[in-house]
Amino acid sequence: MPAVSKGDGMRGLAVFISDIRNCKSKEAEIKRINKELANIRSKFKGDKALDGYSKKKYVCKLLFIFLLGHDIDFGHMEAVNLLSSNKYTEKQIGYLFISVLVNSNSELIRLINNAIKNDLSSRNPTFMCLALHCIANVGSREMAEAFASEIPRILVAGDTMDSVKQSAALCLLRLYKTSPDLVLMGEWTSRVVHLLNDQHMGVVTAAISLITCLSQKNPDEFKTCVSLAVSRLSRIVSSASTDLQDYTYYFVPAPWLSCKLLRLLQCYPPPEDGAVKGRLVECLETILNKAQEPPKSKKVQHSNAKNAILFEAISLIIHYDSEPNLLVRACNQLGQFLQHRETNLRYLALESMCTLASSEFSHEAVKTHIETVINALKTERDVSVRQRAADLLYAMCDRSNAKQIVAEMLSYLETADYSIREEMVLKVAILAEKYAVDYSWYVDTILNLIRIAGDYVSEEVWYRVIQIVINRDDVQGYAAKTVFEALQAPACHENMVKVGGYILGEFGNLIAGDPRSSPLVQFNLLHSKFHLCSVPTRALLLSAYIKFINLFPETKSTIQEVLRSDSQIRNSDVELQQRAVEYLKLSSIASTDVLATVLEEMPPFPERESSILAKLKKKKGPGAVSVSELEEGKREGGELNGGSDRGADTAAMAASNASTPSPQADLLGLRSTAPVGSAAPSAGSLLVDVFSEAGPATPSAAVNDDGFLSSAPPSEDPAPPLSEADELLNKFVCKNNGVLFENQLLQIGIKSEYRQNLGRMYLFYGNKTSVQFASFTTTVSCPGDLQSHILYMQEHFVEPLVEGGAQVQQVLNIECLTDFCDAPLLNIKFRYGGALQNLTLKLPVTINKFFQPTEMASHDFFQRWKQLSQPQQEAQKIFKANHSMDTEVLKAKLLGLGTALLDNVDPNPENYVCAGVIQTKNQQVGCLLRLEPNAQAQVLSHTHTHTHTHTHTNLYSCL
């Protein structure tokens, strides 16, 4: 940039600014400004032509007055005239004034565009940069229409100076963000991508911001950038701080460029080229290794730059979710940050570990830090860090640690910040429901939740506990006893009264045999809370009283006296008055049989998605919930029986007048759609937890002659399976969730869960383009005789129109009839830009998905192994290891296979021993497995025995 000469100081501007600062009042300032505006206006309108210096000075004064908050309605033409000056300082002030004051709809925009065009074609780098800065600052659609085709040419031209290339890249980025339809790269695409190889690091840093933005919208056009980005990142990571002296920041080479390269790579799946992928893994390992090195400087800037690269690298590792070693190492590195003295680092570590907890490879590693996270929840000073700690506890929770985590969350709730209490309550309620094996523990937890944070317990929470108690016979007596004891507390929250009124009104008879909880004692206890409650709660209690008359005839006279009192039948609230009058009349004139029919016990609630989870999603907001959480939410939906959204209003309880039909439930809906009024499945089976879903199955599924089940009749034959279909299938043998398929148009995510011989699969179809998919249809087929081995039922249909950037979901229910080998096929058809897209994939449903882990001692294992020694029951195979024979990786894969990994069973500690039962509808197939690794030869010897003679062939296809 040219040096500013001493004569350009503009003494008059300095004096004016000094006068303004010396004003003692607002009135004095306005008076001085008005005087100056009058002077400037007279100078501009005067007969004497102003020189460039004077124009510049007066335009600067106008700009200063505008920045003080005063309106400027003249001087624009003079500023435009400054653009034609050949002096840098005058041209600079002209562009500055235009960038700040000129509206994009101004009549002068054409003159301004002409001046900018002249400067862009001048080949003077200083003037070109000023023009590009002005375009980027204004960034209007008119600017984009005028210069969108010119700037790419400047960017890739061989004779353009590096400083101009930087400005051009950032200017093009600004125009693309405001008017993406006008910025068409076309022929410039490959040349822009190759700017990643530019020798000037500043050009690369500017260009990568542009390429990242373009890649997010058009990933396929810019996919060649992946190898170039890996190559550039490798050079930076492996370089010493002295190699890139101009771009080394506190001993960290090019930290901003490194972060941007890592962020660019997150726009794409892992590289398919083995060499590129290997080089990238080396880079990520190097970054993790450098994080362990002692710092080269004690300055905070050094650690900030170093950690910025580390966290971006961890984000990329999490995005790929395919390298177990890197995921575990990333988790361990983040674990070290959990106790760092820097608050921001602890926050970022907790946030990243929340994402790692959802990966099957790193979930166990995350769980090892549970004590540290609990300590952070208790001792952190910053509320945002405590909230992230609570989020991480929620994410790492599973059946093994659910009771501990729920207990810690309940303990924290007593002192938690008011801003996060409601969300904490929802999370505790969800975890207690999802991982409840002992339902008495669930009831205790929710009642404790109401006691500790009753004001923050929403209706959805206490509705839910009532639904579950009603649907489970084995917990009703315990719930009645527990809630009766809870109501005896002197200070009792109103939500506790609601739960108590409902449960005692339904199941008070189960504890009435104890003199301490006799019918009259129960009634008096409830009625002692009546005057303290709001109108809706009083209405619920009145319904409980009429239920008492049916359950306990001896309380009839006492309750009728209450209903007959003036405070009830003359109540100012219409709802309470009507209930009191109607219930009093009902108890007086109805016979015992009629009363028993009208006031019959509530029927079980239908199975639906948990309304608590829906509320948590809503509270987090649409942008704060990731795809994996949404998928997880659907799976969590019915962990316990009774996921209805309806309120537990006892008005309906009192008005129920039909007996509960109880046909045998069809869990999957495979045979027929259940009647609307049918009862929920038996509470004795947890299978229904997996398959609960909002509403009945849609009855309009079309099954064609081939046994295919599709969302619409296909008009063209399905395409043959993709060449990489087997490879995509194999990725899911040991995991149940992830991205099944992705190209430049479509992303297909998958989430599935299996219990015994039943499974449910959620498919998520994401439109990655900005264009609508039309005629979107999907077809699931079972090739060959697979139809007799495995049966599918499609519950939800995909909408035929998928908007740009939108995602639609499809649910498949699975039932394994006998063992099988082939995988079902999924065909997807849609029209994109008028052209038909037709692709077929293999659904990742393999026989090992129906494994039930089995624990057994060493003696039992080998005794069982000897019993299955017949040739057709035993099989052995020796094969070359395709991946690293790392202990943790092998354990993760064997656990992912679905078997139980048995410790201290095999005499050789290097061997792995597993046991499990393959659950099918027709039979159960026991399976014992032994894996003998030979690290020197890099081979694995696998032996397994089965109670069924044909299963080993099918299981080998998975292994």
Question: Can you say which residues are annotated as belonging to the binding site?
Answer: 11-12, 43, 53, 57-61
3-state secondary structure of 665: coil
Within 10 angstroms of residue 533's Cβ, the number of other Cβ atoms is 17
| Cα→Cα distances 234→17, 253, 622, Å | 52, 12, 37
Q: Roughly what angle, to the nearest 10 degrees, separates helices 556-564 and 519-527? A: 20
The number of CA neighbours under 13 Å toward the Cβ of 263 is 18
β-bridge pairing 825-832 and 835-842:
antiparallel
- Is residue 543 within 8 Å of residue 654, measured between CB atoms? yes
Within 10 angstroms of residue 578's Cβ, the number of other Cβ atoms is 14
β-bridge pairing 939-946 and 874-880:
antiparallel
d(CA 768, CA 390) in angstroms, rounded, equals: 33
The number of CA neighbours under 13 Å toward the Cβ of 400 is 6
d(CA 676, CA 695) in angstroms, rounded, equals: 10
- Is residue 638 within 8 Å of residue 689, measured between CB atoms? yes
Query: Per the structure block, which two tokens stand in for 119?
Result: 């400067």
Helices vs strands, H then E, count in the chain: 41, 18
Nearest to 464 by CA among 610, 630, 634: 610
d(CA 412, CA 398) in angstroms, rounded, equals: 19
Question: Position of tokens 């527990």?
Answer: 482
3-state secondary structure of 769: coil
Q: What is the 3-state secondary structure (H, E, C) of 149-190?
A: CCHHHHHHCCCCCHHHHHHHHHHHHHHHHHCCCCCCCHHHHH
Backbone φ and ψ for 718, nearest 5 degrees, come out as -65, 145
d(CA 513, CA 515) in angstroms, rounded, equals: 6
912 strand-pairing partners: 931
d(CA 495, CA 485) in angstroms, rounded, equals: 15
Nearest to 261 by CA among 330, 204, 199, 318: 204
d(CA 332, CA 353) in angstroms, rounded, equals: 10
| Contacts of 163 by beta carbon, 8 Å cutoff, 6+ apart | 125, 129, 202
| Cα→Cα distances 338→300, 333, 384, 523, 880, Å | 18, 9, 14, 52, 40
d(CA 753, CA 461) in angstroms, rounded, equals: 25
Within 10 angstroms of residue 264's Cβ, the number of other Cβ atoms is 26
Residue 377 burial (10 A CB sphere; 0-12, 13-18, 19+): buried
d(CA 540, CA 581) in angstroms, rounded, equals: 15
| Contacts of 273 by beta carbon, 8 Å cutoff, 6+ apart | 227
Q: Compute the CA torsion angle 821, 826, 827, 832 (nearest 10 deg).
A: -140
| Cα→Cα distances 498→48, 459, 493, 605, 796, Å | 87, 10, 9, 18, 36
3-state secondary structure of 642: coil
